[in-house]
Chains A and B, each alone.
Chain A
Amino acid sequence: MKSAALILTIVVGLAVVVLLSRALDARRTDTQARFAEEPLYVTPVAAKRLTLAFNGLAADWYWMRSLQYVGGKIVTYEDTHDGRIDFGWLGNLDLRLLPSLLRTSTTLDPQFMAPYEYGAMILPELNSDHAINLLNAGIAANPSAWRLYQHLGYVYWKRNDYQKASEVYTAGAKLPGAPPWMMAIGARMKAEGGARDAAREMYRHLYDSSNDDAVKHMVGNQLMRLDSLDERDAIRRVLKDFEVKSGRCVSSWREVFEGLRAAHLKIDQANGAPLDPSETPYELIKNGCDVDLDINTKVPIK
């Protein structure tokens, strides 16, 4: 009898707690949103001291918080702008806390490579100086990590500083364990830094050497973009040939079917339209005189 009364008290108590929590939630103002962009008030060095022997775990927490921060911003942007965001548009997201989150994670655990790699990919879209500072700190803590030189070279390439990119790749190539292509890319950066093939080769190596799915996805998209740029050049040549021969632009893809096939482009059998690397048909624009990506394509615009 006594036990039954106690169990009843626990059940009723839990129900009351749930009701009270809901009532409190309804009255609470969203302080989380108000302070979400507040700068980190614990400096990375102070965080390292405060975490005693648990700095590795704290670094993991800051790393996951970085991922959640970017992920949350992307989800909010896509919800409010009715569409998906491309890698090249990350600058629109106001990721102002990301540099300090990544810096805290790497200060807590300087050998933790994932935040450096992630920072090298994302931070140049916001401010390449943040990426350079992060990677230079990484190189100071891990002087024999050639991958950090690879990422730093990429950041310099992104800001069109091909001379510096070449120097960084060449310096990284001299480290023990660095693959031979580091030296080759260093030379290529110097000779033809802005060329599409140089970019493709660099992205391919980034893709192959990364273990991070998010980075692989971003780099894979950039490789698709480069392939698509080549394909659009080939399509434009076919369209130009048609225009020269017939004196008008094409009215449908069927009219240039043979030319597209001769250019080794993948073609949609249903309507004869060439397919982009994400298997979405290209779109004819300017009354059939030019080509562009379809609005539904997964190929990034920049």
Chain B
Amino acid sequence: MTDPTTTTTASATAEASIPRRAALLTLIAIARNAFREAVRDRVLYNLVLFVLLLIGGAIFLGELSAGQEAKIIIDLGLSAMLLFGVFIAIFVGVGLVYKEIERRTLYAILSKPVGRGQFLLGKYLGLCATLLVNVVVMGVGVSLALAYLDRGWNPLITKIWPAILLIYFELAIITSVALLFSSFSSPALSALLTFFVFVIGHFSGDLKALANSSSSGAARLLFRALYYLFPNFSNYSAITTASHGLVPDGSSIGLAVVYAIVYSSLVLAAATLIFSGRNFK
């Protein structure tokens, strides 16, 4: 004998899970399209340039660096990974929303049961997937270059991956910032503002130092607020230490990953708030 109360609760849960599943499928569809669009825009062509840079570095820098080839390959490879990643995050990120408005495809999308937040999150995840492919392929490229140097296994190969993981999460934060600016501004201005955030994020240690050294209470409060407001990218700078075979400890990496997820979530929430208030008529 089935308990009628249990049956009612189960059917209510099933009914609730249908729109939740549909929302998830919509999110995946938007993300997949954003990824495809990036691939179609030949964003991944930068990998060819990256590979050429690494091959050139591996072959020629050995002659110039007096036995420091491995360090230079890692510095060059991971720096290029960050730089290319930042350019992709900024220039693709700021165009994600703008292009849809410009082509008027946004109206078709939003006329369907797709929330504005869902749309932004899908775009964000699509670009994160593009960056993930980019970063993983580049990481494999650096590992192969290291293996080529030693004509076999190089212990530094395993040491660079935590630094690569941190670079990826730094890029994820930058992507969310690019989306935030693009939700209310033109692509050129959004790109500029996002780049400023990238630069300031690497100076955040100075903001804290300024807060500590300021004699005025208001200035101290302002600098401290800015320190917490801007993302602290020094937590993600492990390139130089990776080139010496040093790996950040697990708890630092874990906290940096959680910080990136929380920070990106709140930036996306702010972007959704602004984007929801926009009138597209």
Contact = CB atoms under 8 A, between A and B. Distances in A.
B208 interface: no
Interface in A14-57: 49, 52-57
Interface string B232-262: 0100110111011010000000000000000
A17 to B, nearest CB: 23
Residue of A60, A67, A114, A214 ringed by the most chain B CB atoms within 10 A = A60
Interface residues of B, number: 29
B242 to A, nearest CB: 8
Interface in B34-76: 61, 64-68, 71-72, 74-76
A53 B82 contact: yes
Interface of A is mostly: helix
Given A109-B240, A111-B240, A112-B71, A56 B66 contact: no
Nearest to B72: A60
A57 B64 contact: no
A111 B246 contact: yes
Contacts of B202: 52-53
Contacts of A209: none
B79 A63 contact: no
Nearest to B243: A56
Interface string A143-157: 000000000000000
B239 to A, nearest CB: 5
Interface in A113-169: 114, 118
Given A49-B203, A53-B82, A59 B67 contact: no
A213 B244 contact: no
B199 interface: yes
Interface in A202-239: 211-214
B227 to A, nearest CB: 16
B277 to A, nearest CB: 34
Contacts of B78: 56
A56 B239 contact: yes
A211 B68 CA distance: 9
Nearest to B198: A52
A264 B240 CA distance: 52
A54 B66 contact: no
A57 B66 contact: no
A9 interface: no
B240 A63 contact: no
A76 interface: no
A90 to B, nearest CB: 16
Contacts of A214: 66
Interface in B188-230: 198-199, 202-203, 206
A212 B246 CA distance: 21
Residue of A57, A63, A109 ringed by the most chain B CB atoms within 10 A = A57
Contacts of B243: 56, 109
Interface size class of A (residues with CB under 8 A): 20 to 34
Nearest to B83: A54
Contacts of A54: 79, 82-83, 239
A218 to B, nearest CB: 12
A105 to B, nearest CB: 11
A263 interface: no
A68 interface: yes
A64 interface: yes
A111 B66 contact: no
B67 A53 contact: no
Nearest to A210: B67
B68 to A, nearest CB: 5
Contact of B71 (A49, A55, A60): A60
Contact of A53 (B64, B66, B72, B239): B239
B68 A213 contact: no
B71 to A, nearest CB: 7
A114 B66 contact: yes
Nearest to A52: B202
Contact of B67 (A49, A111, A212): A212
Nearest to A109: B240
Contacts of B79: 53-54, 56-57
A244 B240 CA distance: 66
A114 B75 CA distance: 15
B67 A60 contact: no
Interface of B: 61, 64-68, 71-72, 74-76, 78-79, 82-83, 198-199, 202-203, 206, 233, 236-237, 239-241, 243-244, 246
Interface of A: 49, 52-57, 59-60, 63-64, 67-68, 109, 111-112, 114, 118, 211-214
5 contacts: A49-B203, A54-B79, A54-B83, A57-B79, A68-B64
8 shortest A-B CB distances, which residue pairs?
Answer: A56-B240, A56-B75, A52-B202, A57-B79, A57-B75, A53-B237, A111-B244, A60-B72
Given A53-B82, A57-B239, A67-B64, 19 more contacts: A53-B237, A54-B82, A55-B240, A56-B71, A56-B75, A56-B243, A57-B76, A57-B79, A60-B68, A60-B72, A60-B76, A67-B66, A68-B64, A109-B243, A114-B67, A211-B67, A212-B67, A213-B66, A214-B66
